[in-house]
Structure 1
Amino acid sequence: MDERLNYAPCGYVSITLEGMVAEVNQTFLDMMGYRLEDVVQKHFEAMMSTANKLIFHSYFYPHINLDGHVEELFIRLKNSQGESVPFILNGRKFEREGQERLDCVLVQMGKRIDYEMELRMANKQIEKAYWEKDQALAELQQIHAEIERKQTELMEINAVLLELSNTDKLTGLKNRRFFQEKLEEQLMQYNHNRIPLSLFIIDIDHFKRVNDTWGHGYGDEVLFDVASILKTHAVEGETVARYGGEEFVMILPETDAEKAKAGAERLRRAVQDFSWKTGSMTISIGIITATPDADEAMLLQKADEALYASKQNGRNQVTHYEDLKLQGYSP
């Protein structure tokens, strides 16, 4: 073994797929008070309590076989005095000379943290239950089922959290962060396949007047209703998001300039024809259709210039950036 690895500031243990220790560095031996012959060619689980064996089988092996690696597994190993030593274990599957090995790096924990105490109590309860019952196989199956249930719950919770992190709370639309990530993704696809891609920036006309006259509560209602109209008229594959304040954005894959202008006009009329408490609400829209030289910033800038032209031309307008070029317009 390389001398630097042998005396690295962390433990290193390489085990076979059967769990036998093939290599170990001196740092680990010094941590644990073992000699080389005490560990090599011995089963790695010989240094574990029953509870930690269960953790190792229910977490380490499934994940390293599925993903090829395991990160930050909390585990305890018994030293030569029989004392329990806490470690954080990172592992990776590695093929060496035609043989697969599971290389593990172990960092000893110098401080206890709150959840560690909870795990200790849980481990004691598992160990007590294991020794008190003869039906070890049935109990292990129960534990596996519970782990699978918890993993399913965790994935569902993570999915909900991800959705919340990408959603504007007021309107229920996607938020600016999601929009920017989606625009980058769609532009990459456009640069690859050159299928038309268009972008809208939509602004509610005279929105400040709504807040000043009717109050911010009604202003929020207007934002929600405009968002609902946009979402209702969007087709599958299109992304609708709140960009900020009274501005919204839409990404329209497989949409050329003419199709984009027709779609924007339908949105403009839908908002205009909606039954508003104030009697009238309108939107202005700026459109850009992607070109081979465009990046995200350029698309947004040009769509914003088209929106500005819609505002300057009296609001309640739809303007495509290409039309500005034809007219010789300079925002």
Structure 2
Amino acid sequence: MRASELKHDVDHIPGGLILLDGSNTITAVNQTLCDWLGLSKQDFLGHAPETRMTRASGMYYLGHVLPSLRLHGRVEEVLLSFSNAAGKDLSVMLSATSCPKPEDGFQVLVIPMQRRNLVEEQLQQARKTAEQAVAAKEEALQEVRAMAHELEERHKELARLNSQLEQLATQDALTGLNNRRVYEREIEIHLALFRRSKLPFALILADIDWFKQFNDRFGHDTGDQVLKEVGQCLSAGMRDVDTLVRMGGEEFALILPNTTLEDAALVAERKRGEIEKLNSRHGTVTLSLGVAAARNGDTKSDIYGRADRSLYKAKSQGRNQVCMS
């Protein structure tokens, strides 16, 4: 290939080419670089290359690239930025070598870093997307934690409300004792245990004597107070397995697991004596009590009926006593 053809081809190679003399002045530039920057060759000739660079790149060129080129005769793959006619930056990779003798100066090859810029933009976008994803994940986790906390609080509140509902459903509002609903449940349970394992249990029914007179003489508020005092006295000293219930009005029931008829009668007599000694400011309070123990083939009506008949017997025989059957 002739030299003239080579010079013609230099203008159209896919890279910028700059020739510098020994004083760092541009003596030639190819058309490719001019096209990239939107400048003419006259805009380059007679100027130093750093005048067409960004300020930071120009300082780096003068402080590091040019001294290294003069000292070693070459530099390779230095990242710099040129400014085009519109004032926008063009990132390039610059490599340079000394011109072969007898010429004096340097030849500089400039390759645009558009692909690198694209990759950097993609990396930055990917990093931004990743950061946004992390932030969104953390926000979602915070929302999940908040929802979990709220759900836990609602579960606690629901448990509290359920406990209150259970209490309302199974507790006598006046005395705080269990109500008849609990009696029905417990008597069924103990009858089932008795049928399966013959585990004995007894039922005591207790009724306050002459209770109507308290209401008639002192009023219903006094009657309510007497009911509370009797309930507290009956519950004192009971085992955890025992069940005390206010059946309604002035009647109470005690279910005593693993207890014979005779032992239940002793419990009833002890409670009768404690009530009689109760220091009530409204006068002496007494109880009549009927006792029954579970028998083979009993239904809840059977055992309740026997205890109720014993209670009626205690009432008819003068009150303030215990009868059993």
Q: How does 1:48-197 map to 2 (within 5 A)?
A: 135-197=139-201
Q: 1:243 aligns with which of 243, 247, 266?
A: 247
What's 1:225 paired with?
229
Letter in 2 for 1:210: F
Q: Is the 8 A contact 1:285 1:318 kept in 2?
A: yes
Shift of 1:149: 2.1
CA distance in structure 2 between the aligned counterparts of 1:259 and 1:148, rounded to whole angstroms: 48
Structure 1: runs of 5+ lacking an equivalent: 1-131, 322-331
CA distance in structure 2 between the aligned counterparts of 1:214 and 1:155, rounded to whole angstroms: 41
Shift of 1:133: 5.5
Deviates more, 1:268-277 or 1:153-162: 153-162
Q: Is the 8 A contact 1:233 1:267 kept in 2?
A: no
CA distance in structure 1 between the aligned counterparts of 2:311 and 2:200, rounded to whole angstroms: 20
Shift of 1:191: 1.2
Letter in 2 for 1:266: R
What's 2:270 paired with?
266
CA distance in structure 2 between the aligned counterparts of 1:201 and 1:181, rounded to whole angstroms: 16
Shift of 1:222: 0.5
SS in 1 for 2:291: strand
Q: How does 1:282-321 map to 2 (within 5 A)?
A: 282-321=286-325
CA distance in structure 1 between the aligned counterparts of 2:191 and 2:277, rounded to whole angstroms: 33
SS in 2 for 1:316: coil
What's 1:23 paired with?
none
TM-score, scaled relative to structure 2: 0.57
SS in 1 for 2:195: helix
* 1:276-319 Cα deviation digits (max 9, x unpaired): 22331100000000011111011111100000110111100101
Shift of 1:214: 1.2
CA distance in structure 1 between the aligned counterparts of 2:144 and 2:261, rounded to whole angstroms: 62
Q: Which runs of 4+ in 1 moved over 4 A?
A: none
RMSD between aligned residues = 1.6
Letter in 2 for 1:172: G
* 1:77-99 Cα deviation digits (max 9, x unpaired): xxxxxxxxxxxxxxxxxxxxxxx
CA distance in structure 2 between the aligned counterparts of 1:233 and 1:311, rounded to whole angstroms: 25
* 1:210 equivalent in alignment to 2:214: yes
SS in 1 for 2:274: helix
CA distance in structure 1 between the aligned counterparts of 2:166 and 2:278, rounded to whole angstroms: 33
* 1:279 equivalent in alignment to 2:293: no
What's 2:30 paired with?
none
Shift of 1:210: 1.2
Q: Is the 8 A contact 1:240 1:248 kept in 2?
A: yes
CA distance in structure 2 between the aligned counterparts of 1:133 and 1:161, rounded to whole angstroms: 42
Q: Across the two proteins, how many residue pairs are aligned to each other? A: 191
SS in 1 for 2:244: strand
TM-score, scaled relative to structure 1: 0.56
Structure 2: runs of 5+ lacking an equivalent: 1-134
Q: How does 1:15-54 map to 2 (within 5 A)?
A: none
Q: Is the 8 A contact 1:286 1:304 kept in 2?
A: yes
CA distance in structure 1 between the aligned counterparts of 2:152 and 2:282, rounded to whole angstroms: 54
Give the share of equivalent positions with the same residue, in percent: 36
What's 2:96 paired with?
none
Shift of 1:142: 2.0
SS in 1 for 2:236: helix
Which structure: larger Rg? Answer: 2
CA distance in structure 2 between the aligned counterparts of 1:247 and 1:174, rounded to whole angstroms: 12
* 1:181-223 Cα deviation digits (max 9, x unpaired): 1111111111111111000110000101111111111111100
